[in-house]
Amino acid sequence: MGSLDGKVAVVTGAARGIGRAIAEGLDAEGAQIVVADLGGAEEAAKAFDDGVGVTVDVSKEDDVQRMAEEAVKHCGGIDILVNNAGLYASLAMRPFEQIPLDEWRQVMDVNVASMFLTCRACVPLMRERGGGRIVNISSGTPFRGVPFVLHYVTSKGAIVAFTRALAKELGKDNVLVNCVAPGFTMSAGVQEHPEVIEALRNVSVAARTIQRDQLPEDVVGAVVYFCGPGSDFVTGQTIVIDGGQTFH
């Protein structure tokens, strides 16, 4: 028996990388997985018993509403939402004056507005089931003030604030809202950008108390904890997982 037997978990950005690792961790605890991603969702869902894949752009209201409807259609409802989808590795590092406004808005739409949309679509379904869990994936960068990706760092800081405010609002509904903030992770998306690895890998490892690469699997335990019975009295919190680079 897993701690999440009978639960339905929607994980955005779960076709690969950190999202895929999180989906595998929740699946191992018995949750039925809905893989929501811009590409590869249906193929990734085949890895899970009764897995459901939904192609979705999380920054688009209609797509997100369809995602929730598909979860109800195939799984009967939603108990867990992991907001993992986001933009990072494809962003060029540059002084803030050189960031185009269109790119700034895109980062805010994909990294922040998407969480508003997914929560708005999924929370009513959680209320119908007597409660639920929301886990938002932020980043360790707001706690360190990392330069040259101002839009990204700002978006991830907003996620921490979003988590706290929404937790207050949904406590009465037994919907717990928490946040996980990973450090620089050797995910599939990062590995596709060697220039990002060259700029950040060594300096990140050197700054950690645990001096090794961070892997997607390192994030899973905290997310599973927030989704399971061990965190029944925990909401509005952020756990930074970066090998001790930041103490929060």
Q: Which residues are catalytic?
A: 152
CB-based contact 136:81 (threshold 8 Å): no
> How many residues in the chain?
248
32-37 and 52-55: which strand pairing?
A: parallel
Task: Give me the residue label for tokens 């700029």.
Answer: 199
Beta bridge partners of 9: 33, 80
Query: What is the Cα–Cα distance from 181 to 190, expressed in whole angstroms?
Result: 16
